[in-house]
């Protein structure tokens, strides 16, 4: 998958991820063609080829390439710098930060 089409919501809090992804889905409802919502993963697939995936901020995300990123403001800075940012292909100033107050 092309990294520009690989979007991610990164948080360890499943409920935060679910609320944010529901908000994104509501904004793009006509173009969402597949939704996966299980205990271990959440994915939205859009008709233009974009895939939005919930990722926990842990080591195993090292295989992913991320083109657009929503990141929990509570992320540990070491994890941000050493695990997440090496996978992110966009500009740091384009990261969309979120916290519980925005839900």
**Would you state the pLDDT for residue 60?**
65
Q: Summarize the confidence of residues 31-39 as an average pLDDT.
A: 90
- Of 1-5, 55-59, 80-84, 87-91, which range is least confident? 1-5
Total structural domains within the chain: 1
**Would you state the pLDDT for residue 29?**
73
Confidence of residue 97 (pLDDT cuts 50, 70, 90): very high
Q: Summarize the confidence of residues 4-28 as an average pLDDT.
A: 91
The model carries a pTM of 0.87
Distances in Å between the Cα of 80 and the Cα atoms of 5, 44, 89, 99 are 21, 23, 14, 15
Distance from C-alpha of 69 to C-alpha of 77, rounded to nearest angstrom: 16
Residue 47 domain boundaries: 3-102
């Amino acid at each position: 998958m092309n990294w520009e089409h690989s979007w991610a919501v990164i948080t360890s809090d499943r409920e935060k991820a679910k609320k944010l992804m529901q908000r994104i889905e509501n904004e793009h409802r006509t173009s969402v063609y597949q939704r996966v919502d299980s205990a271990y993963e959440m994915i939205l697939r859009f008709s233009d080829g974009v895939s939005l995936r919930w990722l926990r901020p842990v080591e195993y995300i090292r295989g992913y390439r991320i083109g657009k990123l929503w990141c929990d403001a509570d992320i540990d800075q070491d994890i941000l710098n050493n695990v997440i940012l090496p996978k992110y292909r966009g500009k740091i100033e384009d990261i969309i930060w979120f916290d519980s107050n925005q839900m």
